[in-house]
Structure 1
């Protein structure tokens, strides 16, 4: 219901800024661009490594899905950041396009958040199973199972967050200054479940009681299914995962023939490395998305309409959103910090991209040393020789 109406009243003070508070202006206008660049570039690098031949396993496939969701989330936030700046805020074309898509961008943002959260839940379960049964976990799933899992997560989260596209009625007004020197588009959105305030056109809420109750139920149901339940479950599973990790680490080596013992030891070490990465990523997601979920529930059930309360909630929401964005932007650093194989894969990628004369001059410590590969039925350790200057002559 995006309608463009001509307002009869003029305005001397046209409020063009999209920032509701000074804090939002700073966080979204100036800090977010850096978070966006780091987050998108980091997620692209993560995808390049996680989807490489040497890194393919079930956990990494799920982590790749999370990286895709993070990229979509950051891209949907970009117009909101651009709208903070005067160049875009005063552009009639930008305001027209932004107003027409703002509500749907909000729906997509929540969709990507829900998708990432449930994929985090799935990868935590996979790792818990993997650390308990290392041999079975090395069996790579078939394509149908993988596609079905992703389709279920994408479809279910899309349906759960679809109400965001219908939760508000929005109208666009053409406002003019009293000297008729300039005009600007003003966007007004009202909650379809509430009485419409400041209604100068004497319009009444046209939606049925059933539709209002459906939106109310969807918002509460989605908050628990997409936010509270998966975050709580992931936190509990993460604790169990850490316990299993310590328990596995304390177990003695399996007795038997030397080569078999060596292979099993390598497998257990690799499982621990993968699990450490997952535990780190899951902990980051739980901390950075748990607090915003609590604040969202607070806003959902808040009945205090005082200006001071609304202003306070807006600032808290801005801080929580910035924390969540920071968590998504830091994934590349977490991967590199926790996994030597991940760092080796990045170095291999850089060596392929850099000119050979630069690669020859790289110190030996920046060259990959060893990678571990495994397939469905046997485990093998393959040494990757150092790619020194002689490799490129």
Structure 2
């Protein structure tokens, strides 16, 4: 009986060695895998649809960049989830690799978060310009402009979050566990800006005052430039965008039979639909990333070192991170709910991937049909819609 209890206690100790709280073990160990699968698969589908020939525009290009950043964030968060489970936590190889890359994975996670946030800001600006000048917004930007914008965002956010790779000094050592029957690797990281708690070993912080101040300044500066300022700006711009959308909705569409009026009316409706999608995605990002940013600032300036406070902040951080991951995983469903063209494009992709004999057996009402409008000078793709019974009468 005692051996069983000792084995259970040992197993529990090893399993929870990577989770700071029980809540983190539940959220990252069991809920995150489902969020990861839904988020990565949904983001891949989003990229495939947004980058398709029929969906290319400036807003969708920026949204595809956000989908790429979400995939990177989820992939970098996966090792943290795996490390919580006993199979990986007791593996010497996994612990060695994870310990060597943990701090850098944290830096990449913050990089992808910053990248997504500033791309959200860019797409909000683009939609605000688009709803005010629909005709000019339809002009697709040249490749150099697009590449330059993405390079600036990627480089700037990478530099702003680079301090995460140097903010801690980490050491790995061996500890005996399970009544000295097993050896496990333990990883300890110490903040380079604070006094090291190794007085018994006569270890002192070797970093210069300039380096410490640089890390302190970088952490505060990055928190505002990457978190507070873009989130606040996006929230304010989103309110303006909602007002412009409501104002445009109240204006009557152009009526008439001429081809020019029909084209302008179609253009205004399309711009409105794109804006609705952007507003929905931006609102989701603002809500799911705003609260984690506030908690991060709280941790950054918190001076209370009591165990109760640290335990409480860890739980709040876990909840906020789970909320943020949920927001990233829900983007695919938001696209599907807000955009009929998005749903039709997915159906077109499935129709191309499935064998013809299976497609022929599907009910026709579930298959998209491409409507082609002929003109004296050219033939243009104007819309994609579902087939109905009237199409075959």
Give the alignment's TM-score, normalised by structure 1: 0.91
CA deviation after TM superposition for structure 1 residue 296, in Å: 0.3
| Deviation string, structure 1 residues 49-99 (Cα, Å, up to 9, x no partner) | 000000000000000000000000000000000000000000000000000
CA deviation after TM superposition for structure 1 residue 352, in Å: 1.1
When residues 388 and 217 of structure 1 are mapped into structure 2, their CA distance, relative to the original with a 3 A threshold, is: same
| Deviation string, structure 1 residues 199-249 (Cα, Å, up to 9, x no partner) | 442110000111101000000000000000000000010011111111111
When residues 247 and 99 of structure 1 are mapped into structure 2, their CA distance, relative to the original with a 3 A threshold, is: same
Q: Distance in 2 between matches of 1:108 and 1:36?
A: 17
Q: Per chain length, whose mean CA-contact separation is higher, i.e. which structure has more relative contact order (CA < 8 Å, sep 6+)?
A: 1
When residues 253 and 8 of structure 1 are mapped into structure 2, their CA distance, relative to the original with a 3 A threshold, is: closer
Q: Which moved more, 1:311-320 or 1:15-24?
A: 15-24
CA deviation after TM superposition for structure 1 residue 361, in Å: 2.5
CA deviation after TM superposition for structure 1 residue 380, in Å: 5.3
Q: Distance in 1 between matches of 2:376 and 2:160?
A: 36
| Deviation string, structure 1 residues 166-201 (Cα, Å, up to 9, x no partner) | 000000011124854210100000000001114442
Structure that is richer in helix per residue = 2
Q: Is the 8 A contact 1:124 1:282 kept in 2?
A: yes
Q: Distance in 1 between matches of 2:221 and 2:99?
A: 27
When residues 272 and 14 of structure 1 are mapped into structure 2, their CA distance, relative to the original with a 3 A threshold, is: closer
Q: Which moved more, 1:352-361 or 1:310-319?
A: 352-361
SS of structure 2 residue aligned to 1:309 = helix
When residues 191 and 3 of structure 1 are mapped into structure 2, their CA distance, relative to the original with a 3 A threshold, is: farther
When residues 3 and 53 of structure 1 are mapped into structure 2, their CA distance, relative to the original with a 3 A threshold, is: farther
CA deviation after TM superposition for structure 1 residue 5, in Å: 31
| Deviation string, structure 1 residues 120-145 (Cα, Å, up to 9, x no partner) | 00000000000100000000000000
Q: Distance in 2 between matches of 1:367 and 1:168?
A: 55
SS of structure 1 residue aligned to 2:196 = coil
Q: Is the 8 A contact 1:43 1:68 kept in 2?
A: yes
Give yes or no for the alignment of 1:163 onto 2:163: yes
When residues 189 and 381 of structure 1 are mapped into structure 2, their CA distance, relative to the original with a 3 A threshold, is: same
When residues 13 and 61 of structure 1 are mapped into structure 2, their CA distance, relative to the original with a 3 A threshold, is: closer
Q: Distance in 2 between matches of 1:378 and 1:301?
A: 63
SS of structure 2 residue aligned to 1:197 = coil
**What corresponds to 1:254 in structure 2?**
254
Q: Distance in 2 between matches of 1:128 and 1:163?
A: 33
When residues 387 and 328 of structure 1 are mapped into structure 2, their CA distance, relative to the original with a 3 A threshold, is: same
When residues 391 and 8 of structure 1 are mapped into structure 2, their CA distance, relative to the original with a 3 A threshold, is: closer
SS of structure 1 residue aligned to 2:64 = helix
| Deviation string, structure 1 residues 38-59 (Cα, Å, up to 9, x no partner) | 0000000000000000000000
**What corresponds to 2:286 in structure 1?**
286
**What corresponds to 2:100 in structure 1?**
100
| Deviation string, structure 1 residues 332-366 (Cα, Å, up to 9, x no partner) | 00000000000000000111111223222322332
Q: Distance in 2 between matches of 1:253 and 1:83?
A: 57
Q: Is the 8 A contact 2:47 2:64 kept in 1?
A: yes
**What corresponds to 1:63 in structure 2?**
63
Q: Distance in 1 between matches of 2:256 and 2:386?
A: 33
Q: Is the 8 A contact 1:174 1:186 kept in 2?
A: yes
Q: Is the 8 A contact 2:344 2:368 kept in 1?
A: yes
Q: Is the 8 A contact 2:14 2:89 kept in 1?
A: no
CA deviation after TM superposition for structure 1 residue 368, in Å: 1.6
Q: Distance in 2 between matches of 1:80 and 1:206?
A: 29
CA deviation after TM superposition for structure 1 residue 251, in Å: 1.4
Q: Distance in 2 between matches of 1:376 and 1:238?
A: 42
Q: Is the 8 A contact 1:371 1:383 kept in 2?
A: yes
Q: Distance in 1 between matches of 2:375 and 2:6?
A: 66
SS of structure 1 residue aligned to 2:9 = strand
When residues 304 and 72 of structure 1 are mapped into structure 2, their CA distance, relative to the original with a 3 A threshold, is: same
Q: Is the 8 A contact 1:168 1:191 kept in 2?
A: yes
When residues 8 and 160 of structure 1 are mapped into structure 2, their CA distance, relative to the original with a 3 A threshold, is: farther
When residues 11 and 142 of structure 1 are mapped into structure 2, their CA distance, relative to the original with a 3 A threshold, is: closer
Q: Which moved more, 1:357-366 or 1:4-13?
A: 4-13
Give yes or no for the alignment of 1:391 onto 2:391: yes
Once the two structures are superposed, the pairs formed by residues 34-183 of structure 1 within 5 Å of their partners are 34-177=34-177, 180-183=180-183
Q: Distance in 1 between matches of 2:129 and 2:377?
A: 17
Q: Is the 8 A contact 2:15 2:89 kept in 1?
A: no
Q: Any unmatched runs of 5+ in structure 1?
A: none
